[in-house]
Amino acid sequence: MLLASAVVVWEWLNEHGRWRPYSPAVSHHIEAVVRAGPRAGGSVVLGQVDSRLAPYIIDLQSMNQFRQDTGTLRPVRRNYYDPSSAPGKGVVWEWENDNGSWTPYDMEVGITIQHAYEKQHPWIDLTSIGFSYVIDFNTMGQINRQTQRQRRVRRRLDLIYPMVTGTLPKAQSWPVSPGPATSPPTPPCTCPQCVLVMSVKAAVVNGSTGPLQPSVTRKNMAPPGVVKLPPPPGPGAKSLYSTDAIQVPRKTAPSQMIRRQASSMPSGTTAGSPASPPGPNGKTGRVALATLNRTNLQRLAIAQSRVLIASGVPTVPVKNLNGSSPVNPALAGITGILMSAAGLPVCLTRPPKLVLHPPPVSKSEIKSIPGVSNTSRKTTKKQAKKGKTPEEVLKKYLQKVRHPPDEDCTICMERLTAPSGYKGPQPTVKPDLVGKLSRCGHIYHIHCLVAMYNNGNKDGSLQCPTCKTIYGVKTGTQPPGKMEYHLIPHSLPGHPDCKTIRIIYSIPPGIQGPEHPNPGKSFSARGFPRHCYLPDSEKGRKVLKLLLVAWDRRLIFAIGTSSTTGESDTVIWNEVHHKTEFGSNLTGHGYPDANYLDNVLAELAAQGISEDSTAQEKD
């Protein structure tokens, strides 16, 4: 146990293995349920505080977030941070997505950025915490150290996360000791959704651990408007809730339905059979939904649907739930009931399966692609030709400006009429010289442009930091490997009239070169060979030809920190999205996707690769 004061941040684990924070308002809501203890039911309905989270429920016993429409379970945790850090001050740091929306940084990253901001540092390098980014506070931008791509960032104020004082448990379990109470316990919520969740759990305890119930007679029925909770599971056990009844609309008599469900238990169940392992004190623990078997879940779904029908709450049909499925059919049934209780129009079907690869293909079925020479490409460590000096490279793209305008240089944020404010290693050019890029017309200190070039790949190309116009031929730092491509006789979803182009990337682990983040250090290569897919259409072949140019220019992959695993010094994708799911689109990296080909053409254009590039490569 730790004696301290801290702010509590509730977080969930995403598919990339990173803990993502809930908003302050949601964390306050979860914390209120935690502090109320078992009588609050042990479940948190997130839609009560944020309508965008309506499908989600947190089960505090198993510490999982349950998505009702898909059955997806994700771990959650209750984490503690210094009250003087960003969450203790209500400060949220966010970066701008490609679609223009804002995403909060992971909490540890936001805290690191806020600390540097408070120290009035001009920038912060996030490499030390595993991210290849620099945050520039002058421009409020995030710069990718590998690609030099920039995104906007912002700092905004929100609610302060909940505070706890006193004894802090190391284990993130439930129920927890809340420490000194700062406010009276919150009474159990009586909305239809929470009432349903609690009655389901009560029925679980009765149906899983109690003796067989006799048939219901009229004298055993509860008065209209009251649902009696089931009796304790065994001698000496206490009820889960502090009240004996839950109020529901008066025209219902759901106790009859719950008892019918209990009386239909399999004959093999005996009194006192534990549904979960006993705790240290010998008492039977509370049952989490995730621990229930198929039979119990099916009975609960039927019983609770009867309760809802009797109470007038609209229900929804649940179709195609027989047989094996990633979502337990009975669990999906409960999902439909819970969603309808919240007034949401839902019709559940069996979720599609993840299909990463096509059916087996024999060698004789694999064909070369018409109009594309060869069936594979290799890359080596050879760099593109470089200029003798950075000044000579920039001279090709710049025009000197004798009378600069009275505006800021967007690299150093000093006025163009004043000397450059760059404080790093000093280039040989004078700090007061100003130049204009010949094609886009943006004006900078030449001193700043030389410094920017020296911090990049130094491949003889230059990219305008304002409009991203590329001067020269941009190349990357992709390690050596092989790219194979051929036709297979299967169609992608959304492209039934053509075959499929399969691309196979193979890159082995190795040692980083001078152009990489940590020269001389080894790098890993996870997940290779990587299989990617394009439709064998006119536009699909066009994309393939441009991907071949990108491969030759070493722009498909880079070495950096994986956003999936957090591993540093590993091979990562480099801003050009690929489709790695053949027959589904569950992860967003598959088909059908009507906009994918246009999107990847735009991403390649941002790297300086267009149809003109294929002609340049031939020359």
CATH number at residue 29: 3.30.720.50
pLDDT at 248: 35
SS (H, E, C) 9-22: EEEEECCCCCEEEC
Do both 394 and 487 map to the same domain?
Answer: no
Do both 488 and 454 map to the same domain?
Answer: no
Picking from 114, 138, 166, the residue at the C-terminal end of a domain is 166
pLDDT digits (tens, 9 = 90+) for 493-510: 999 999 999 999 999 999
Q: Is 191 within the bounds of a domain? A: no
Do both 499 and 423 map to the same domain?
Answer: no
pLDDT at 173: 44
Q: State mean pLDDT over 292-297.
A: 50
Of the two residues 285 and 189, the one the predictor is more confident about is: 189
pTM above 0.85, yes or no: no
Q: Is 240 within the bounds of a domain? A: no
pLDDT digits (tens, 9 = 90+) for 78-130: 998 988 999 999 999 999 987 788 889 999 999 999 999 999 999 999 988 88
Going by pLDDT thresholds of 50, 70 and 90, the confidence category of residue 587 is confident
Q: Is 546 within the bounds of a domain? A: yes
Going by pLDDT thresholds of 50, 70 and 90, the confidence category of residue 337 is low
Centroid of chain to Cα 314:
33
Do both 17 and 136 map to the same domain?
Answer: yes
Total structural domains within the chain: 3
Q: Is 162 within the bounds of a domain? A: yes
Q: Is 187 within the bounds of a domain? A: no
Do both 532 and 400 map to the same domain?
Answer: no
Do both 399 and 487 map to the same domain?
Answer: no
Q: Would the pLDDT of 187 be above 90?
A: no
Alpha helices in 223-282 (DSSP H): 254-263
CB-CB neighbours of 256 under 10 Å: 18
Do both 446 and 583 map to the same domain?
Answer: no
3-state secondary structure of 224: coil
What is the bridge-based pairing of β-strands 163-168 and 2-13? Answer: antiparallel
Do both 493 and 431 map to the same domain?
Answer: no
Do both 442 and 567 map to the same domain?
Answer: no
Rounded CA gap, 162 and 155, in Å?
20
Do both 424 and 528 map to the same domain?
Answer: no
Q: Would the pLDDT of 373 be above 60?
A: yes
pLDDT digits (tens, 9 = 90+) for 512-567: 998 888 999 999 998 899 999 999 999 999 999 999 999 999 999 999 988 777 78
Residues whose CB falls within 8 Å of the CB of residue 80, separated by 6 or more in sequence, listed in order: 4, 6, 7, 8, 9, 164, 168
Picking from 143, 166, 189, the residue at the C-terminal end of a domain is 166
Q: Would the pLDDT of 417 be above 70?
A: yes
Rounded CA gap, 118 and 115, in Å?
5
pLDDT at 229: 36
The CATH number for 491's domain is 3.30.390.130
Which structural domain, as residue segments, surrounds residue 531? 481-616
Do both 403 and 536 map to the same domain?
Answer: no
pLDDT at 510: 95
- Residue 502 tokens read as 């399969």
Going by pLDDT thresholds of 50, 70 and 90, the confidence category of residue 425 is confident
Highest mean pLDDT among 150-159, 273-282, 309-318, 580-589: 150-159
pLDDT at 69: 67
What DSSP string describes 137-195? Answer: TTTTEEEETTT--EEEEEEEE-PPPPEEEEEE-SS--SS----S-SSPPPPPP-SHHHH
Do both 486 and 397 map to the same domain?
Answer: no
CB-CB neighbours of 172 under 10 Å: 15
pLDDT at 339: 56
Nearest C-alpha neighbor of 479 from the set 504, 518, 515: 515
Q: Is 235 within the bounds of a domain? A: no
pLDDT at 484: 96
Q: Is 526 within the bounds of a domain? A: yes
Residues whose CB falls within 8 Å of the CB of residue 554, separated by 6 or more in sequence, listed in order: 379, 475, 476, 477, 478
What is the bridge-based pairing of β-strands 462-463 and 481-488? Answer: unpaired
The CATH number for 399's domain is 3.30.40.10
Computed over every residue of the chain, the mean pLDDT equals 74
Least reliable range by pLDDT among 13-27, 344-358, 391-405 = 344-358
Q: Would the pLDDT of 421 be above 70?
A: yes
Of the two residues 584 and 292, the one the predictor is more confident about is: 584
Q: Is 288 within the bounds of a domain? A: no
Of the two residues 323 and 557, the one the predictor is more confident about is: 557
Q: Would the pLDDT of 21 be above 80?
A: yes
Picking from 146, 166, 186, the residue at the C-terminal end of a domain is 166
